[in-house]
């Protein structure tokens, strides 16, 4: 494989060799995890290995032949939440506001694309992302009191803090809403999603979803293989996937 790798046709903002990889020496492990998918890594000496974090890609092996770029035409609005028990649909920003840069989301395995939702049925960029990341399943859900059966019950379920054994991928086709994710210090980060925003949440991360004051969101749900909708409410720290996710954060913290 040529090095540096040649860019792929997804409008990369920066070359892959600038932003795709960082590495650090950590105590001996036989595997490292990027987005909770294991791949073998070479040992630089018996007592250490290189932990490789992919900022823009899901790696299936250290060769890194399959790269997905994040298109940063515009970034989502993200911030640390306050501790208020007021209506969950409100922004819940601190005073003063504490925004969270996209790079901090990447450090906890949350990745973002900005796409053209008006052409989602025939969007080559979306098709490339699906192909590169193996998103073979897709359906569309409309979250609105007139469209979603058991609407109030579903909203309560969505807002319960939980994790999944697999990635959660959501692409907002219309409307808006909030995803909340826990950072490595267990603080809530609120992610404001609107039309054209697409994110992936890594397996093992604690998160939740709520509507905003528009009370309407139409979203594409993507999945690798057959969908598994099982949620594990907190506490779920004993699950293997949670431990793998926490180990990936330790790996990233030494870079």
Q: Looking at the domain assignment, is residue 34 inside a domain?
A: no
Q: Looking at the domain assignment, is residue 177 inside a domain?
A: yes
> Binding site annotation covers 144?
no
> Binding site annotation covers 207?
yes
pTM (2 d.p.): 0.74
Q: Looking at the domain assignment, is residue 12 inside a domain?
A: no
Averaged pLDDT of the chain: 79
State the Cα–Cα distance between residues 115 and 119, nearest whole angstrom. Answer: 9
DSSP string for residues in 96-120? S--B--HHHHHHTT-EEEE--GGGG
pLDDT tens digits, one per residue of 135-194: 999 999 999 999 999 999 999 999 999 999 999 999 999 999 999 999 999 999 999 999
Q: Looking at the domain assignment, is residue 113 inside a domain?
A: yes
Local confidence band at 75 (pLDDT 50, 70, 90 cut-offs): low
Local confidence band at 252 (pLDDT 50, 70, 90 cut-offs): confident
State the Cα–Cα distance between residues 134 and 238, nearest whole angstrom. Answer: 28
- Residue 54 pLDDT more than 90? no
Q: By three-state DSSP, how is residue 211 classified?
A: strand
Local confidence band at 76 (pLDDT 50, 70, 90 cut-offs): confident
Q: Looking at the domain assignment, is residue 124 inside a domain?
A: yes
CA atoms within 13 A on the CB side of 40: 3
Domain that holds residue 109: 77-236
Considering only CA atoms, which of 28, 36, 26, 24 is closest in space to residue 60? 36
Considering only CA atoms, which of 75, 46, 44, 56 is closest in space to residue 16? 56
- Residue 18 pLDDT more than 70? no
Containing 154, the helix (H) or strand (E) segment is helix 151-159
Total domains, the chain? 1
Q: Looking at the domain assignment, is residue 98 inside a domain?
A: yes
> Binding site annotation covers 162?
yes
Q: Looking at the domain assignment, is residue 59 inside a domain?
A: no
Local confidence band at 255 (pLDDT 50, 70, 90 cut-offs): low
**Residue 162 is part of a domain; what is its CATH number?**
2.60.120.10
pLDDT tens digits, one per residue of 93-116: 999 999 999 999 999 999 999 999
- Residue 28 pLDDT more than 70? no
- Which is more confidently placed, 252 or 45? 252
Check residue 251 and give its pLDDT. Answer: 82
Check residue 55 and give its pLDDT. Answer: 34
- Residue 73 pLDDT more than 50? no
Q: Looking at the domain assignment, is residue 15 inside a domain?
A: no
Check residue 196 and give its pLDDT. Answer: 98
Local confidence band at 254 (pLDDT 50, 70, 90 cut-offs): low
Least confident interval from 24-33, 63-72, 170-179:
24-33
pLDDT tens digits, one per residue of 180-236: 999 999 999 999 999 999 999 999 999 999 999 999 999 999 999 999 889 999 999
């Amino acid at each position: 494989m040529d090095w540096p790798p040649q860019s792929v046709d997804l409008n990369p903002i920066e070359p892959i060799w600038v932003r795709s990889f960082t590495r650090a020496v950590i105590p001996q492990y036989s595997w490292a995890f990027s987005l909770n998918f294991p791949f073998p890594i070479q040992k630089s000496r018996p007592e250490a290995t290189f932990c490789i974090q992919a900022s823009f890609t899901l790696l299936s092996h250290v060769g890194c032949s399959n790269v997905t770029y994040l298109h940063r035409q515009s970034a989502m609005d993200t911030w640390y939440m306050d501790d208020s028990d007021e209506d969950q649909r409100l922004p819940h920003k601190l005073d003063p506001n504490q925004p969270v840069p996209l790079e901090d989301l990447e450090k906890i395995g949350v990745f973002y694309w900005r796409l053209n939702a008006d052409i989602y049925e025939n969007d080559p960029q979306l098709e490339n992302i699906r192909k590169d990341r193996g998103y073979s399943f897709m359906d569309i859900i409309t979250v609105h009191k007139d469209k979603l059966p058991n609407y109030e019950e579903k909203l309560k379920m969505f807002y319960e803090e939980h994790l999944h054994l697999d990635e959660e991928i959501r692409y907002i086709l219309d409307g808006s809403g909030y995803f909340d994710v826990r950072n490595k210090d267990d603080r809530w980060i609120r992610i404001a999603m609107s039309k054209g925003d697409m994110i992936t949440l890594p397996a093992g991360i604690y998160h939740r979803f709520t509507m905003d004051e528009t009370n309407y969101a139409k979203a594409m749900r993507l999945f690798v293989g057959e969908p598994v909708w099982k949620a594990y409410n907190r506490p779920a720290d004993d699950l293997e996937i949670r431990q793998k996710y926490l180990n990936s954060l330790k790996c990233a913290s030494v870079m």
